[in-house]
Amino acid sequence: MSNKTKIKEAKGMEKKNRTEVKTIDLSKLPIRQLNGEVVELDFSKDLAQAIFSNTQKIEEHAFSVDLYKNPIIELTDENKAIIKEYTERYFKAFVQVAVNELIGE
Q: What's the pLDDT tens digit per position in 88-103? A: 999 999 999 999 999 9
Q: What's the pLDDT tens digit per position in 31-86? A: 999 999 999 999 999 999 999 999 999 999 999 999 999 999 999 999 999 999 99
- This prediction's pTM: 0.79
Above 90 in pLDDT, residue 11? no
**Spatial CA neighbour of 91 closest among 54, 37, 36, 38:** 54
**Spatial CA neighbour of 83 closest among 64, 62, 68, 70:** 64
Indicate if the alpha-carbon torsion angle 30, 38, 96, 19 is positive or negative. negative
Distance CA 44, CA 49 (A): 9
User: DSSP characters for 2-27?
Assistant: -HHHHHHHHHHHHHHHPPPPPEEETT
